Every structure is written in C-alpha cells, then in structure tokens.
A and B are shown apart, each in its own frame.
Chain A
Amino acid sequence: MAQASLKAKHTQSDVTWKTRLQEWWFRNRALIGFAFIFPWFAGFIIFDLLPFVYNLYLSFTDYQIGTRGVPPWIGFENYIEIFTDDKLFGKSMYNTVYYLGFSVPLRLIFAFLIALILNLRVRGMELYRTLFYVPSVVPLVAATVIFAGFLNTRYGFLNQFLVLIGATPVRWLSSPDAIKPSLILLSLWGFGGQMIIFLAGLQSIPDDLYEAAAIDGGTGWHRLIYITVPLMTPTIFFNLLLGLIGGFQIFEQVFILLDTNGGPLQAGLVYMLHVYNKAFRDFEFGYSAALSVILFLIIFVLTLMLVYTSNRWVFYGDAQDDET
C-alpha cells in the first residue's frame, strides 16, 4: 500500500516535471529554434558574409601581397581596368559562358533522362540507382585525374573506342578546338546529385494523374510532356539554378587538366582561373577581388532574372488557386 502510494507520488512528480518542461519548451520554442540554427548562422557570418564584405572592400583597393595595414583605396580603378584593359577578362568570360551554355542544359537533360529510367518499377532498381550515383561520390580531383586518362589522345579509352569503330581520334586536351568540349564532357560525370533531386521530384508526382491520363488514352509520351515535365518544373528550376551557379565557378577540373594557363591558346582559361592567376601568380589581390565581385554580380543578376521569369514556366501546383 505504502509502495503503491510512493509509486503514484513518483508518477505524479514525473508528470509535473514533464509538463513543466513541455511548457517551458513551448514558451521558449522560438529561442530554442534559434539556438539550433545558430551554428549554421555563425558559420555563415564568419565564413561567408564577412569574407564577402571584406572582399568587396578589397576590390576598391590596391591590395597586393605584403600590404601591411590599410591597403590604398583606389575607388573603381580595378573595375575600370577590367573592362577597358584586361584582354583575358573577355576571353575567360567567353570560355566560361561557352562551357555553361552547353554543360548546364546537357547535364540537366542527362540527369533528367537517367532519373526517368531509374524511376521505373523494375526489380533491383535500388542497385541501379546506387550504381548511377556512385560517380558523384568520387571526389572531383580523383574524377578529373581519371578523366585525364580517358581523354589521353594516344592511350585513352575514348580514342581507343573511336578508333575501334573507325572514327577519327580526337585531340581532347591538346587541340584548342577540343578543350571546351572535353570540359563539357567531364561535367556530365557529376550528374548524380541532380539525378537524385530529379528522382525525388518524380516520386512526388501522384500516380492518380498518370492513371487518369491512361484512362483518357494518353501515351507514355503524353504522360511525359503533359504531366511529368510540368510537375517537374520546380525541380528543373532548382537544378538549373544550382547548375548555373556551379558552372560559373568551374575551376578545379581545368586547373588539374590544363594547368593555370588554361591549355593551348588559353582555350580553357575559365573565369575562376583568371581570378586565381591574378591573385596567386601576379599577387594582385585587390584586382582579383574586383574580378570575383563582378562574377558575383553576374550570378546574382542571372539568378534574379531566372527567379523573376520562373512564374512563366515553373508550375507550382494549385497554390495560387487555393489562395484565391
């Protein structure tokens, strides 16, 4: 009896304690939420925002290696020089835009098609999905080194294959005309990340839409064009944005494959390589900061344009109807 009473008392005390904790938790839920996101927020401020602001400041200075104290303020001189006197600004921007113009759409299409295939209900699909994703797990440096072997003119797999089928071998990394296509080819290697996002998007499309289309006599093609693609536009938009931002920042692959000069006739001198050379070869950090600010502005404006135009082609379901 005494034991039962004690147990009841304990239980009551537990309940009171739990209730109080829950109440405290509920009252301070906003604070707790902020506490959880604080590490990310602190990291963002320390490692992203502050360097960005400092970089912006440096772009208006003549900051060179060894500058002690406050670097000399030169206003827009770096920017004026970039637009009036820097031949490699135009060249590197052209190379980057060329690369982007082909690699981003090709990678999107490739990742989307593979995701469509991997969305089929086939036995052992989990294994196939893993296999297709594995290349994306390989570090970029390792993947690039592997690709250097693939692209070797004399002994590379690609040219050996071309010779086998009677085609003319391509000088992937030694001909100025083939450099950019080689980089575009390499960019397809890491399609796995986009593929996974597409796959997640595909799996969120309700089956009843396809069933309704089937009842109405829609073919596979109709289902793809009138159901899958429209409902996937938010995912396509997201992947497009990521692809563009990442594409503008292409660096490691080129650095490893072509060295800092960007290969023959600088056909592979991409924008970030130019930024790198100005900073670490010429030690002109202020100028290099200005180059990177310009790249940021280009990406920022492009992103804004994409977001602004997205309501014309991105389908967000019935959200607007619901609001009205």
Chain B
Amino acid sequence: MADAYMGKILKVDLGSGVIEEESIPDSVYEKFLSGSGLGGFILYNRIPAGADPLGPDNIMGFVSGLLTGTGSLFTGRWMAMAKSPLTGGYGESNCGGNLSPAIKRCGYDGIFFSGISEKPVYLYISGAKAELKDASDLWGKDAIETENILLERHSSGRKPRVACIGQAGERLSLIAGISNDLGRMAARSGLGAVMGAKRLKAIVLGGSKKIASHDKDAMKALSAGCNKWVQFQPWFLSGNGLRFLGMILRYLPFQTAMDGMLFKIMLTKWGTVSLNQYSIEIGDSPVKNWAGSNLDFPKALSDSIGPDRIKARETAKYHCYSCPLGCGGICSGPSLAGETHKPEYETVTALGALLLNNDLESLFLLNDKLNRAGMDTISAGVTAAFAFECFEKGILTEKETDGLKLKWGDSRALVSLIDKMIAREGIGDILADGVKRAAEKIGKNADCYAMHSGGQELSMHDARFDPGFGLHYTTEPTPGRHTIGSQMYYEMYRLWKRVPGLSRPWLVYSKKSKYRVNRKKILWAVACSRFINVLNGAGGCAFGAFIGVDRFPVFEWLNAATGWNRTPLDYMAVGKRIQAMKQAFNLKHGLDPASIRPNPRAVGSPPAEKGANKGRDLDLDKMVADYWSESGWNTKTGVPGADTAADFTNV
C-alpha cells in the first residue's frame, strides 16, 4: 500500500446496526484517488439503479482527501456524496472545516452509510471502537447546538470532530446540507435530507491514527514554497476602491487574464465577501432573480453590504484545517445570539442582490439561521427570489404566502419567508424542496422564474459575464454549481504551466471574444472539469488552486505523499475517469444529460436589455456538443465511451 491513504473504508448499515471495515485495493486509489473519486466509485458500483434517494438503498459517504494530513497545504476538504434527492443524479458536496483529517485519523478514507435506522442515531468513533449511539435527545436541535452538545459529551479524550444536520435535514428539505465546525456547510445536492431520511443526526470522530506520507521532507519543502506565495500580501484597495475598479473594468471593451494571486490578496483581506460589490459592478453577480442588472443594485444600495462593512464585524480570521490563508471569519452582531461564521459571497448575493436586499443585519441573521437549520444558503436565496418574482407577477398572492407581502428588498418579509421554509410552514413547505419542485407544485408557468439547472439552484456567478459558468452549469454530472470551472478559473489554475498541450490565454483580449465558441476554449473547460476532479480526489481547496498549479503544487504533492511517479497528464487522465464515472452514474439512474439545461434567462435567452451584460447570449447547444466531443463522449447524448465505462468496475 502506498502512503497517504489508509486503505480502508468503514461501512455502517443503519438498518441492521452492523458496522464493518472493508479493505480497498490499491488499484482503486491509483485509478480514482480518494475523496470524490473513491466516493464516486463506491456509489457507482453499489447503489442499485433507480434507488430512492431517501430510501434504504441509497448510500451516503463521508470521504477525506488523498492529500489530507500528509503535510500539504490547502488540502483539508472532505466530501459528502450520495444519490441526490434534489437532482436525482450523482450528489456531492465539498466542505472545509476540520472533519477531513478526522476521518483518516479514525483509520479510514471514507465512512459509508446504507439502510435506515429505526430511531435517530449518531456514529461515534474513538480509538478502535465505532458505535451507533442514540440521538433521540438531539433530534430537533439545530446544527450548532447539536455539535456543542456532542463536543461536551465526548470531551474526555482528544477533542472529536463533528458533522451533523439541523432541522432542515430532519424535515427532509431537499436543499438541506451538512454542518461541520459550527456552521461550515457541505450545502449542495440536498445531502442533509439523505442523512435525515436515514435518521443519522451526526458523525463524531475522535480517532488519533497516524497519517503517513512517503517523503515528508519533500512535502515540507513543497509546502514552504507554496506558503511563500500565500503570505505575499501587499497594500490593496479599500472595499469602495475595489467596487470602483469593477465599474471601470465594466466600461472597458477588453479585459486582462486573471492572475489568481490578485484574488488571493482579496481573499486574505476580506474573504469571499471581497466580491460583494465588485462582482455586481462587473456583471458577475446575478441581480433580482437574474432578471435585473447592476443598475438595479447600484452603489447607493450595495454600499451597506460592502466588504469593509462585513470585515468590520469580524472578530477573528477562521482557517480550515491545513489552510495558510484564512478566508473565513468569526463574526458577532446585535441580531445574533453569539459568534457565527462570516457570511460568504454566495450567501450575501443569494440573499442580497438576488432579492435587492441591502439590509446587512438581515444577512447576518439569515446566514446564522440557515447554518443552524442546516439549509443551503444559495438554494434558499434562489428559492426565495423565485417566490418574490412569483408574487410580483401575481402567481403567488398574500393568500398563498400567509399574508406575507414579498416585495423586492423587503428584508423582514424575507426573514419571515426563510423562517417558514426552515419550519416547513405554509408556503415554506412548498419552497423547502427547492425551486424546481416549488415551480412544479405552483404551476401557472412559474418554472419561467425557477433558476436552476437539473434541479440544482444556480450559483451566484452569471454565465452572461463568463460563458464558462454556463457550460459547467449544464454539462457537469453535478450541474448548477460554480465550483468546477469557467474561463476565469482556467486563467487562475494556470494548468498550462504543468500540463503539456494546454494553451495559455492571451494576457489581454476583447470581451466580445469571450462569447465566440472555439475549440481552444472548449479544451480549457474540459481541462477545468478534469482538474477539479483531481483536486476533489486530493481534498484540495479551489482557492488554493486559484493561485496556480505552479505555486500550489498539487501534482508534486500527490507524488511526494504517495511515492507514485506520475506526470500531471497522468493525473488529468484520472480526473477524466472520475468525471466520466459520475456521468455514468447519472445514466445508470435514468437521467438524460441532453435534457439538462439552466433556465434560459441565465444564458441570455432573451438577452438582457440593460446593464453590464446587455445583449449577451450564449450558444449553449454548440458549447455542450463540442464539450462532450472533446471529452470523448457522444456529442448528442453525453454518454461516455465504452472503454471508459469499463474502467469504473474493473480495478
């Protein structure tokens, strides 16, 4: 067995209570790494076709990254995966916090749950013992309270790490996520509902096993080199200055390739909220349920949620495990009972610009409420914006909203609506399952205003600003998310520095050229998809990777940690295999990739009549066909080639 991975998984049958270990052959790690790849391999081979996502046949995994605990930086992310009740296909969510090393320190690369428990339980692992414990007293409690109780209950030895669900998961909200480290969320794909359906309230991991690394000295040297780049932090603009820069860039007919070091500097200074106003000005943030523009949320409105305003509430920086940057933050405020995690850009925009809400206090309050309930802030914001637009159009009236007047920018109505979604009361019961289900239940052509792709609510990056987002929202086995690729991501990953055959973008290019579909840009998108699957197999953070693979040496770390001697091209082939396997999972479960498209509004159909993205549209059909062609998949159906499919079972 190579170093870096534990070579075992833990299987827990919640129906029978049987807990057993299983050794995983080296060939699985060699072909799929760990993390997303190992999890996908188990799910693909062991969930029967057509299984009910909320039934006993679904398998829920918690998997660490291959590089986690080996001495590399930015590699502490863990992945939860199951068949998604939200999309009906492969479901996965990825989170930082502190759980990833805890999985390995229990002696496993992953923990997989099947069956349904008769009563609420949690898994507790300490030393060599793994046991299911009664969680009846925890059922009904929010995620933060649950974690604090469990930390107190198991405080005798080494402090354990906890992942748990709040009330949203218990109530089977299809936009429920999983909380770790008091409010870091694995939010997407509705996996909190899978835990809720299994009556699995939490996992509590207190192991202390050693994680090996093949060449510790090489790992340290690589980490030291990476850290030098991360610690470079020159003077930078104020929040208002950054907003002004976004405005200037909007007016220019050309743009420059993005160096991720600039984003790193912004992340170090503010975290992801650095984008709050900049992204609105430049056209990256969707506004007013994607029907508005920067003109609907100008400086006068956005100033109150600017990055400096949020940073002023930060009492300490928060670092996930193995992160030298610390983009997170711990905040407090008058509306909050105690400390809370700083809202992320996605949260602020989904509950802010998307609803024309500029009430900062409401954003802190909603972020805290949703983290406690364990509900995805992106999906909650998108679903609320859908309800607001339905109200504006007369599809929903005060009769259906229990008297709530859903007027754009009304933060009090928004807070009440989110409360109803968490409690599944009245209109909230319809909205708690996400925007696609809500539109189906409401009818009256409400789906025109439902901003999702394949059932997953769209993230807060506008495909009309960067067409790459539109392509990845459509073609990925986990559609609708911003964490995989875009043209700007390709520029920041700097893959051409390590992967032969990939081209370097022009330093300066016209904005119009972004919307022309050509083979070069399709190859960049395919490279992003493959790379992110490698990164998620390694447990790496995209924000680390954004400084570029020559400064964030993930390929070199993988070799030094495992003792393998592989080229970056070899690893990209692994990424290709993992992505194809997830696509094959979707096909096995009856999804038609060709039918998955984001809401037309999101890709400029019809084009916006004003604002930063005025007149822009995407030739999505051509982009998708070309992407599938360059991936080696059927250009009409999105089915991976037969030779690739054989790879997923023969290990």
**Chains A and B come from one and the same complex:** no
